[in-house]
A and B are shown apart, each in its own frame.
Chain A
Amino acid sequence: MPQPGRPVPSRAYPGALIVVEGTDGSGKSTQLYLLKRWLEIGGYRLHFTEWNSSPLVKSATRRGKQRRLLTPTTFSLLHAADFADRCERQIMPLLQGDYLVLADRYVYTAFARDAARGCPPRWLRNLYRFAPVPDITFYFRAPLDVAVNRILSGRPKLKYYEAGMDLGLSYDRSESFRLFQARILEEYDKMVDSDNFVVLDGTLPVNKLQKQMRDIVASKIDLKRFAPHAADAE
């Protein structure tokens, strides 16, 4: 049973953490890529990290998916292990080392997706209690049909877990995907207020959306601190 939350300093590290969230096809990865390019070209100290990318855990995830060994519980735990590995070896050290850290998907992906699979929300919140809370969480919101059609038109075949086939919602992969994504969207929407999401309209043109994103980043984060000469000056 979790103990009462102990007071933690509002900023225990000097770096800044920006994350993007949203359903598949919401446009979040494209937008984070463009934000990253903008910051890279400007010479800012940054690190980019992606959901489900830790090399230590990768082979296990791949095996689990290929052989369909994963249940909602083990699916969730394996992704938490992946995140913990990146958190302990990259995200936290870099935040302490005064970096800007950009994350394509974060713990909210697990909260939304694993809850959609039936994992107890309380258990999920505990599972990721070690994660630092982002400075900005962009939530790219696109209507279900828009997002789903972007994925269905662009991909030859949906993978088993990607389509949520393990939930037994439908024998048809596309239909299962649509139903699964609807559940995930619902879970995301529940977190908008409680988790301080910055909601962006995923149906806007790419460049307009990117302009909004850059403006918000510039207004909320003291970017000068991450500029190359700032480090030299100190």
Chain B
Amino acid sequence: MPEQEKEKEKSTAQTHGGAGEPTAAPVHGAPAKVAAPSEEETAQHFFGEPLVGFDPSEITGSLIVIEGMDGSGRSTQIALLQEWLESEGFAVQTSGLRRSNLVGQDIDQLLAKNAVTRLTLSLMYATDFFDQVEHRILPALRSGTVVLADRFIFTLIARGVVRGINRDYISGLYAMALRPHLTFWLNVRPETAFGREFKKAQAISYWEAGRDMSLSHDLYWSFIRYQTMIKREFEVMAKRHGFIELDGEASVSAVNKQLRQRIGEQLGIRATKYAPSAALAHLWR
């Protein structure tokens, strides 16, 4: 491992600190320069570092990410896309936050107890993410499956950053994340999302409203302010990572049509006509 020699030099620059800082600013170790051995291949498949013990040439499937805030219509679109792709003969695997076997339940419990600090929570989400990458997403991609990811690292980065975690730190955590083939961003106004979310559960959850951030005692304003902050982070990332931005305010069928077109191009599906089966017809508004 030649890189460890570099580590030696860097770590001499260590400084004390952190105590007085309200942010989770990094204080341990020194900044690293990106200079990996197989840089080109690494950059093509990952955000920064290669995942341990993984050979990118094995990938034959496609990783398609749908991002967007709560109430942007992600899950609806994924259910419809899965049906469409399966009817076209593609094997589909889905993934989403907190669905790992390793820590999915643990995060649910931490959220319910509200006892966890932001950094620990971020790292638990990172664990959940990589467990799914290694045990669900990669095996699927190796077997030629289309993976539809309901959220990805971008939501996790945005949530951490708005809570004051250093942007480079949290991006660095996800340096070994796979680069998606397509990333869609269903962009909606927080006001629209609020209405949709409220209709779903007749309530707004603590975390959706960002109540841990003490933005407002009023639930509505807390939600709007929090989701606006998240949205700003998405605007920054949309440019940097080439998101395909779709108007999440449009009808389900209109959004779905655009998704099918882009995914169809990616997978070489010519006819992208689709109407949901009876089982999913209720989603087609």
Residues of A within 8 A of B (CB): 1-13, 54, 56-57, 59-60, 63-64, 67, 69-74, 77-78, 80-81, 84-85, 87-89, 92, 95-96, 107, 111, 115, 117-123, 125-133, 187, 190-191, 193-195
Instruction: Give residues 126-146 of B contacting A (CB, 8 Å).
Output: 126-127, 130-131, 134-135
Residues of A within 8 A of B49 (CB): 120, 122-123
Extra inter-chain contacts (13) besides given A2-B168, A56-B110, CB under 8 Å: A1-B32, A1-B172, A2-B32, A13-B19, A60-B106, A60-B127, A64-B102, A69-B101, A120-B52, A125-B10, A130-B18, A133-B27, A194-B8
Q: Which of B11, B50, B130 is packed against the most chain A CB atoms within 10 Å?
A: B11
Contact B52 A3 (CB under 8 A): no
Number of A-B pairs, beta carbon distance below 8 Å: 213
Residues of A within 8 A of B1 (CB): 115, 121
Minimum CB–CB distance from A78 to chain B (whole Å) comes to: 5
Minimum CB–CB distance from B256 to chain A (whole Å) comes to: 34
Interface SS of chain A: helix
Instruction: Report the bound CA distance from A193 to B214 in whole Å.
Output: 44
The 3 A-B residue pairs with the shortest CB-CB distance, nearest first, are A129-B26, A8-B17, A13-B19
Instruction: Report the bound CA distance from A107 to B168 in whole Å.
Output: 19
Contact A195 B14 (CB under 8 A): yes
Instruction: Report the bound CA distance from A70 to B34 in whole Å.
Output: 27
Instruction: Give residues 1-19 of B contacting A (CB, 8 Å).
Output: 1, 3-19
Residues of A within 8 A of B131 (CB): 69, 71, 74
Contact A126 B53 (CB under 8 A): no
Instruction: Give residues 205-263 of B contacting A (CB, 8 Å).
Output: none
Instruction: Report the bound CA distance from A57 to B13 in whole Å.
Output: 31
Number of residues in B with C-beta < 8 Å to the partner? 64
**Does B284 touch A at the CB level, under 8 Å?**
no
8 residue pairs of the A-B complex, CB under 8 angstroms, read A84-B119, A95-B19, A129-B166, A130-B119, A132-B19, A133-B28, A194-B8, A195-B14
Instruction: Report the bound CA distance from A187 to B25 in whole Å.
Output: 26
Interface SS of chain B: loop
Q: From the candidates B20, B28, B116, name the one contacting A12 in the complex (CB within 8 A).
A: B20
- Please give me the residue from chain A that is nearest to B23 by CB atom: A130
**Does B59 touch A at the CB level, under 8 Å?**
no
**Does B30 touch A at the CB level, under 8 Å?**
yes
**Does B120 touch A at the CB level, under 8 Å?**
yes
Residues of B within 8 A of A2 (CB): 26, 31-32, 168-169, 172
**Does B173 touch A at the CB level, under 8 Å?**
yes
Instruction: Report the bound CA distance from A3 to B31 in whole Å.
Output: 6
Residues of A within 8 A of B68 (CB): none
Instruction: Give residues 72-93 of B contacting A (CB, 8 Å).
Output: none
Contact A13 B20 (CB under 8 A): yes
Instruction: Report the bound CA distance from A227 to B18 in whole Å.
Output: 25
Residues of A within 8 A of B172 (CB): 1-2, 123, 126-127, 129
Contact A78 B16 (CB under 8 A): no
Q: Do A131 and B51 contact each other (CB < 8 Å), given the known contacts A69-B131, A95-B19, A195-B11?
A: no
Contact B7 A131 (CB under 8 A): no
Contact B19 A125 (CB under 8 A): no
Residues of B within 8 A of A71 (CB): 52-53, 130-131, 134
Q: From the candidates A3, A8, A96, A190, name the one contacting B4 in the complex (CB within 8 A).
A: A190
Contact A131 B176 (CB under 8 A): no
Contact A73 B27 (CB under 8 A): no
